């Protein structure tokens, strides 16, 4: 019988495992992909907006070449924490169900079953992209995750959205010879775009090297073109090779519901938990990391959610 089973081997799942180990609790992390699966799937050349010490777990130094680390450095850091501390993490194993039994939980995965007194849900939100729900979205030319710019060199590439991910991709693809057009639902580049990147994208748009249509949405995607709709309702057809639909991601609400976790019925869809302990309405089931923000996926990140690990373990130890 485990003291706690942690679902998700992201930075916050790892932080919780380390804290459990340090406090002599028995624990197991179950991760459905490779270690820090979300980070592994981030764009190859991404740079974190946080400086490295803000991404540290348990004050273990995170040394990076520049103040803000790269993806490769972050993978190295979290991997070293997991291996050096011999954390119990099962990879490529997915949690499918959590069932309450007398004072414990039975956790069923794709490979085994476990018994635990407590369950920590640290599943993040990077698995499910927000779909545009337009015809042609399932064509192989449409990507909801962006890796690197080389593929799009010399190609008419539409980037949907104006958040950090879209802006980074648009600039990178443009600089590697892609013919970039941004399709933006709002009237401007997003307010939360990194302050050192915003002038770059705005100036590229102003000079015309990156084209942008604001107050515009995609209505149809075809193999060689895309139909867009302007604010006045008029339609325009653009020649197009690829679409990077970087329209954000959402937590797996179905999974939370299956666990009996209450979710607010407003448009934020916030999972309910006690902010002092991180325990949900289900006794012994906790939330950790970015999953806590519901559809407000910008609200929690590594920097401000790594603290959840200590809060949860302290509460379990008080029981």
Ligand X SMILES: Cc1cc2nc3c(=O)[nH]c(=O)nc-3n(C[C@H](O)[C@H](O)[C@H](O)COP(=O)(O)OP(=O)(O)OC[C@H]3O[C@@H](n4cnc5c(N)ncnc54)[C@H](O)[C@@H]3O)c2cc1C
Query: Is residue 48 near ligand X by the rule CB under 6 A?
Result: yes
Nearer to ligand X, 130 or 219 (CB): 130
With CB under 6 A as the contact rule, the residue among 3, 5, 6, 8 that binds ligand X is: 8
Query: Is residue 289 near ligand X by the rule CB under 6 A?
Result: yes
From the number of C-beta atoms within 10 Å of its C-beta (0-12, 13-18, 19+), residue 61 rates as exposed
The interface with ligand X within residues 116-175 (CB under 6 A) comprises 122-124, 126-127, 165
Stretch that binds ligand X, among 2-10, 80-88, 141-149, 189-197 (CB under 6 A): 2-10
Query: Is residue 32 near ligand X by the rule CB under 6 A?
Result: yes
The interface with ligand X within residues 73-102 (CB under 6 A) comprises 94-95
Stretch that binds ligand X, among 33-41, 155-163, 227-235, 237-245 (CB under 6 A): 33-41
CA dihedral 62, 125, 288, 120 (to 10 degrees): -120
Q: Alpha-carbon distance 166 to 46, whole Å?
A: 12
Q: Which one-letter DSSP state was computed for residue 187?
A: S
Residues contacting residue 146 through CB under 8 Å, at least 6 positions apart: 43, 165, 169, 244, 246
The interface with ligand X within residues 299-318 (CB under 6 A) comprises 301-303, 305
With CB under 6 A as the contact rule, the residue among 18, 20, 46, 142 that binds ligand X is: 46
Nearer to ligand X, 7 or 20 (CB): 7
CB of 25 to ligand X, least distance (A): 19
Query: Is residue 42 near ligand X by the rule CB under 6 A?
Result: yes
With CB under 6 A as the contact rule, the residue among 3, 4, 6, 13 that binds ligand X is: 13
Query: Is residue 17 near ligand X by the rule CB under 6 A?
Result: no
Nearer to ligand X, 146 or 152 (CB): 146
Nearer to ligand X, 13 or 136 (CB): 13
Locate all alpha helices (DSSP H) within the chain, ordered by sequence: 11-22, 37-40, 71-84, 164-175, 198-207, 253-258, 302-305, 308-318
Q: Alpha-carbon distance 216 to 205, whole Å?
A: 15
CB of 238 to ligand X, least distance (A): 26
CB of 240 to ligand X, least distance (A): 24
CA end-to-end distance (rounded Å), the chain: 16
CB of 184 to ligand X, least distance (A): 18
Dig out the tokens for 55 from the structure: 């991404």
Number of residues that bind ligand X (CB under 6 A): 34
Nearer to ligand X, 48 or 174 (CB): 48
The beta strand positions in the chain, using DSSP E, are 2-7, 27-30, 89-90, 95-101, 104-109, 113-121, 128-129, 142-143, 156-160, 179-183, 211-213, 217-221, 225-229, 235-239, 242-245, 249-250, 285-287
Dig out the tokens for 4 from the structure: 């706690």
Nearest by Cα to 157 from 36, 242, 248:
242
Cβ atoms of residues 260 and 282 within 8 Å: yes
Residue numbers of the site for ligand X (CB under 6 A)? Answer: 7-13, 30-33, 37-39, 42, 46, 48-50, 55, 94-95, 122-124, 126-127, 165, 289-290, 301-303, 305
């Amino acid at each position: 019988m485990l003291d706690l089973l942690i679902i998700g081997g992201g930075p916050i799942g790892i932080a919780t495992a380390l804290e459990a180990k340090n406090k002599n609790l028995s624990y197991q992390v179950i991760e459905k992909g490779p270690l820090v699966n979300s980070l592994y799937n981030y764009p190859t050349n991404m740079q974190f907006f946080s400086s490295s010490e803000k991404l540290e777990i348990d004050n273990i130094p995170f040394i990076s070449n520049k103040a803000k680390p790269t993806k490769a450095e972050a993978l190295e850091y979290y991997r070293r924490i997991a291996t050096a501390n011999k954390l119990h993490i099962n990879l490529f194993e997915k949690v499918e169900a959590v069932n309450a039994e007398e004072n414990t939980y039975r956790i069923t995965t794709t490979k085994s079953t476990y018994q635990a007194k407590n369950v920590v849900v640290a599943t993040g939100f990077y698995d499910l992209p927000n779909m545009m729900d337009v015809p042609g979205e399932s064509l192989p030319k449409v990507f909801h995750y962006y890796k690197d710019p080389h593929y799009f060199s010399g190609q008419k590439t539409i980037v949907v959205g104006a958040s950090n991910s879209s802006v980074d991709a648009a600039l990178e693809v443009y600089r590697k010879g892609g013919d970039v057009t941004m399709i933006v639902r709002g009237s401007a580049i997003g307010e939360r775009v990194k302050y050192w990147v915003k002038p770059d994208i705005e100036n590229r748009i102003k000079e015309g090297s990156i084209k942008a249509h604001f107050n515009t949405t995609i209505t149809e995607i075809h193999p060689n073109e895309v139909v867009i709709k302007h604010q006045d309702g008029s339609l325009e057809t653009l020649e197009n090779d690829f679409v990077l639909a970087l329209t954000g991601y959402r937590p797996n609400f179905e999974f939370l519901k299956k666990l009996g976790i209450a979710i607010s019925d407003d448009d934020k869809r916030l999972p309910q938990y006690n902010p002092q302990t991180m325990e949900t309405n289900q006794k012994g089931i906790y939330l950790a990391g970015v999953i806590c923000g519901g559809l407000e996926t910008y609200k929690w990140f590594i920097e401000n959610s790594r603290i959840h690990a200590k809060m949860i373990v302290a509460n379990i130890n008080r029981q």
